[in-house]
């Protein structure tokens, strides 16, 4: 078992866990390592029905869990599939089924098998897109989705270490043919990433170090943002002065506005960076527009953000009227 994995998991000895297992080498290895630490967890497997071997893989995961003495819950992605954006839709469906199950069964934490190579590839993909701090700091070791904690205990473990463990221990796993298709940007990066080290001397370890450093800056920005958001957000409504927004540093300003829109609009993600930049430009003068299922209005020196469709008045309800409303509930 990998020591980095053991060190990471030492913080979660008392939590009720589930682990996502597809049948690929990374998740199968994660299942084996976790089963060596503890048995009181459940394996979650999603059959998307998109590949001809999908049912074979599902049966293998079930059999493997039985062999390891681990409970297994299988989900099927049924219904019509989208023509475009299939990969993203499958990911959303997968997380929705797994996190809903976790909430229904009192499971607090879901393990997923993203590893160091995934982290580096994500960084390079986002670098190619011209992403900012949050894109370049890549995946978090701990995040939240649908009210469930998502942890990634393999982010410092390389794919070659995972594959070596499975091969040396004769552990079966399945290969996804999409992982070798050069039409996908991630695969192109995977197949050519060695050039960074071979031609420029930029090693994988150095890239991971840069990601870690960026992650610390991201976390500091998050803390500052939370302080500011807590001062203005109340019941999915925010009112604040223009100076409260524009006196902040540019990065803090963008994150503050994006966080408010995400919380009030209820979306899983914040608006894209260019959309937030455009919104800030509009807010330099009186305006009213929508973004991220929110209505955003500036009038004079005050800015208001409410859910789309709600009244855009700056007046708060009178305390007596609020008490009457609460009595009616």
Residue 113 has pLDDT above 60, yes or no: yes
Residue 280 has pLDDT above 60, yes or no: yes
Residue 286 domain flag = yes
As a whole number, mean pLDDT of residues 283-302 equals 96
Residue 292 domain flag = yes
Percentage of the residues of the chain whose pLDDT score is greater than 90: 76
Q: Write out 23-92 in H/E/C secondary structure.
A: CEHHHHHHHHHHHHHCCCEEEEEEECCCCCCHHHHHHHHHHHHHHHCCEEEEEECCCCCCCCCHHHHHHH
Q: Does 163 share its domain with 238?
A: no
As a whole number, mean pLDDT of residues 172-185 equals 79
CA distance 304 to 296: 6
Query: What letter would DSSP give residue 308?
Result: T
Q: Does 153 share its domain with 79?
A: yes
- 312 near 287, Cβ under 8 Å? no
Residue 183 domain flag = yes
Which of 200, 222, 243 represents a domain boundary (last residue)? 200
Q: Any alpha helices (H) in the chain, and if so which ranges?
A: 3-9, 25-37, 54-68, 86-104, 116-128, 133-136, 159-168, 185-192, 194-200, 204-232, 242-246, 250-265, 273-282, 319-328
Residue 224 domain flag = no
CA distance 292 to 267: 7
Q: Does 240 share its domain with 153?
A: no
Residue 219 domain flag = no
Task: Print the domain residue range for 192.
Answer: 3-200
Q: How, if at all, do strands 142-145 and 287-291 pair?
A: unpaired
As a whole number, mean pLDDT of residues 61-85 equals 92
Find the CATH number of the domain harbouring 91: 3.40.50.620
Q: Does 253 share its domain with 181?
A: no
Residue 46 has pLDDT above 80, yes or no: yes
> What pLDDT score does 79 carry?
82
CA distance 61 to 53: 12
Q: Does 129 share its domain with 49?
A: yes
Give the up-direction half-sphere exposure of residue 217: CA atoms within 13 A in the CB hemisphere: 15
Which of 183, 200, 217 represents a domain boundary (last residue)? 200
Q: Does 191 share its domain with 262?
A: no
Q: How, if at all, do strands 148-151 and 287-291 pair?
A: unpaired
* Lowest model confidence (mean pLDDT) among 55-69, 72-86, 153-167, 215-229: 72-86
Find the CATH number of the domain harbouring 311: 3.30.465.60
Q: Does 284 share its domain with 196?
A: no
- Total structural domains in the chain? 2
Residue 221 domain flag = no
Q: Does 256 share its domain with 184?
A: no
> What pLDDT score does 152 carry?
98
Q: Does 103 share its domain with 179?
A: yes
> What pLDDT score does 320 carry?
40
Q: Does 148 share its domain with 280?
A: no
Residue 38 has pLDDT above 80, yes or no: yes
Residue 47 domain flag = yes
Indicate the angle between helix axes 25-37 and 159-168, nearest 10 degrees. 70
Residue 166 domain flag = yes
Q: Does 173 share its domain with 109?
A: yes
As a whole number, mean pLDDT of residues 44-68 equals 93
Which of 200, 220, 246 represents a domain boundary (last residue)? 200
Q: Does 186 share its domain with 40?
A: yes
Give the up-direction half-sphere exposure of residue 150: CA atoms within 13 A in the CB hemisphere: 17
- 46 near 75, Cβ under 8 Å? yes
């Amino acid at each position: 078992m990998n020591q980095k994995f053991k060190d990471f998991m030492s913080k979660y000895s008392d939590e009720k866990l589930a682990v996502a297992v597809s049948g690929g080498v990374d998740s199968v290895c994660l299942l084996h390592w976790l089963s060596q630490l503890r048995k009181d967890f459940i394996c979650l497997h999603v059959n998307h029905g998109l590949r001809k071997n999908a049912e074979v893989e599902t049966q293998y995961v079930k059999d493997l869990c039985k062999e390891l003495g681990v409970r297994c819950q299988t989900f099927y992605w049924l219904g019509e599939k989208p023509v475009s954006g299939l990969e993203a839709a499958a990911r959303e469906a997968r997380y929705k089924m797994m996190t809903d199950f976790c909430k229904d069964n009192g499971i607090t934490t879901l393990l997923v098998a993203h590893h160091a190579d995934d982290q580096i590839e994500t960084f390079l993909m986002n670098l190619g897109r011209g992403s900012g701090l949050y894109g370049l700091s890549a995946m978090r070791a701990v995040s939240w989705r649908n009210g469930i904690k998502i942890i990634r205990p393999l982010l410092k473990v390389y794919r070659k270490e995972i594959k070596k463990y499975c091969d040396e221990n004769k552990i079966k796993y399945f290969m996804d043919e999409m992982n070798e298709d050069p039409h996908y940007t991630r695969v192109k990066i995977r197949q050519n990433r060695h050039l960074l080290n071979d031609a420029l001397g930029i090693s994988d370890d150095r890239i991971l170090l840069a990601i870690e450093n960026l992650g610390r800056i991201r976390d500091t920005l998050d803390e500052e943002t939370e302080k500011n958001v807590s001062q203005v957000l109340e019941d999915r409504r925010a009112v604040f002065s223009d100076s409260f927004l524009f006196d902040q540093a540019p990065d803090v300003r963008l994150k503050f506005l994006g966080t408010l829109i995400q919380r009030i609009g209820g979306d899983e993600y914040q608006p894209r960076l260019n959309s937030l930049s455009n919104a800030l430009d509009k807010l330099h003068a009186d305006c009213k527009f929508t973004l991220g299922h929110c209505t955003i209005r500036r009038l004079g020196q005050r800015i208001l953000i409410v859910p789309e469709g709600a009244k855009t008045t700056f007046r708060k309800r009178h305390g007596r009227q609020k008490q009457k409303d609460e009595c009616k509930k």
